[in-house]
Structure 1
Amino acid sequence: MPISNRSRDVFDSLLFFAFVAITALCLSFTFSMMMYQLGVPTNPRAFVLTNLLISACVALPTGVIASQHEFRLKNYQRRLEALAATDPLTGLYNRRFFKQALEDEVQRMRRTHQTAGLVMFDLDHFKCINDRFGHKSGDLVLQEVASAAFAELRGPFDRLGRWGGEEFVILLSNVTLEQSALVCERIRERIASLHLECRGQDFSITASFGTCLLKPGAQIDLALETADAALFQSKNSGRNKVTARRAVELAA
């Protein structure tokens, strides 16, 4: 089972504490032995033991303070990394980080010769919700949709990001175009079945999808344009639909 980031940080902090404490004790012992060789103490054994006791009393609190500082620093660094990689509203990958994940997937596919599905979808008539209930309610809808879409994906294998506004993007690893379309259909149905409420009024929302096949050596910008064109086709043909594009060559 993989170790969580928090558990790893705790383990690293304990190692850091041990390093600081042991280093302080070693320095103290070395100092004691030097003084003993010089013949300074009248009672060498008592001198060494006293020196080690005092050093331990100093080293242990110092190690605790240092390890706490190390833990807080790593926790702060991870928070910064999360803020840089995620959309603050939905917690999904932001646009920049998703494109990086997309590039990494293309590099991986060069080695495995697998294919992936690239999906773009956005919410139908989302502006009407903002106009009717306000932007705060619109934000809550985006969060609900993000959770619904994420629930249909395969954990760490797939990637879900917020592309901007009410538009989302998905990377489905190791799937065919048909499988990608089926995933889109499941997400579309799940979003359409959401029971949303604001100011005592029940309402629902739908989403339109476009997907294309991502091949090894794909041109990422062309793949995004193809998925976006498929999404546009779903919009123009009545919305709340899934359109799959397979006729575009994506290989570089």
Structure 2
Amino acid sequence: MQVSDRTKDVIESLTFFAFVAITALCLSFTFSIIVYSLGLPADPENFIVANLFIATCVAVPTGAIAAQHEFRMRIYQRTLEDIASTDPLTGLLNRKFFRQFAVEELARMKRTEVTSAIALFDLDYFKAVNDRYGHGGGDVVLREIAAVAYSELRGPFDRLGRWGGEEFVIMLSNVELEQAQSVCERVRASIERHMIFLDGQPVNVTASFGLALLPPGADFDKVLEQADHALYDSKAKGRNCVSVLGRPQRVAA
């Protein structure tokens, strides 16, 4: 079971609190022993007890403040990372970080000798939506389509990003070509079925897909170019379909 980032932050902050508090107590206890060994206090036992009590009163709030500060800094850092890595409109990975993920995936594939796939898709006649409903309406469409596409993918195994404008990119991990086609067809069909309401009016949009296999050791940019050519092929063949290297195909969802 995966641990959420927020849970990790809490655990690490509590660990930091324990470290600060225990360190303060140890220093205080060491100081008490040194003073006791010098024979300075008139009542050594009471001195040590009082010293440890005072140290505890200092260590606990100090550790709590330090842990709270650490927790807030982790949340702030994670927020900055999220802002840098995600598209602000859809919440998907942006182009830069999707490419970074692809490089990491290729390194993993080289070790495991599994194949993946890259799919590009964009929304058909999206300009007409913007012209009729304005950019606000277009933004609603992009957000909803992003959510629909994401819901059809395999959680942590696949990645969905916004490549730019109305164009999206998918990396399907550990799949053969037939499996990748099936996933893309499922996403395409789900987008086609999804009803979006703009200004109280139902709006249907469709998407065209271009798919290319990403074998171990492949060049990401070249495979992406193949997927792009396949996407143009889908548009030339009538849109709202999945194409693989220029051959539009439909498979059962």
Question: Normalising by structure 2, what TM-score?
Answer: 0.94
Q: Cα deviations across residues 177-224 of structure 1 (Å, max 9, x unaligned)?
A: 222122111111111111111112111111110001111111111111
C-alpha separation between the residues in 1 aligned to 2:25 and 2:111?
Answer: 51
Name the structure 2 match of 1:250.
none
Any idea what SS the aligned residue of 2:45 has? helix
Contact 2:118 2:223 in 1 (8 A): yes
The size of the alignment, in residue pairs, is 247
Which position in structure 1 is the counterpart of 2:251? none
Q: CA RMSD in A?
A: 1.4
Change (3 A) 1:202 1:167: same
Of 201-210 and 25-34, more deviation after overlay is shown by 25-34
Cα deviation, 1:86-145, whole Å, max 9, x if unaligned, reads 111111111111111111222222222221111000001111111111111111111110
In the alignment, what sits opposite 1:173? 173
Would you say 1:234 and 2:220 are equivalent positions? no
Identity across matched positions, percent:
59
Q: Which residue of 2 aligns with 1:75?
A: 75
Q: Where does the alignment leave 5 or more consecutive residues of structure 1 unmatched? A: 248-252
- Once the two structures are TM-superposed, the CA of residue 246 in structure 1 deviates from its matched residue by 8.0
Matches within 5 A, 1:7-18: 7-18=7-18
SS at match of 2:144: helix
Residue 128 of structure 1 pairs with residue 128 of structure 2 = yes
TM-score with structure 1 length normalisation?
A: 0.94
Residues 211 and 244, structure 1, Cα contact 8 Å, conserved in 2: yes
Q: Is the 8 A contact 1:213 1:245 kept in 2?
A: no
Which residue identity is paired with 1:35?
V
Query: Where in structure 2 are there 5+ consecutive unaligned residues?
Result: 248-253
Equivalent runs, 1:181-196 vs 2, <5 Å: 181-196=181-196
Which portions of structure 1, spanning 4 or more consecutive aligned residues, are displaced by more than 4 angstroms?
none
Is 2:210–2:230's contact at 8 Å kept on the other side of the alignment?
Answer: yes
Structure 2: distance between partners of 1:120 and 1:22: 54
State the AA in 1 paired with 2:63: G
User: Where do residues 188-227 of structure 1 align in structure 2 (5 Å cutoff)?
Assistant: 188-227=188-227
Q: Which residue of 2 aligns with 1:118?
A: 118
Aligned partners of 2:230 and 2:246 also within 8 Å = no
| 2:147 is equivalent to residue 153 of structure 1 | no
Instruction: Give SS of 2:171's match.
Output: strand
Contact 2:234–2:246 under 8 Å retained in 1: no
CA distance in 2, matches of 1:153, 1:83: 23
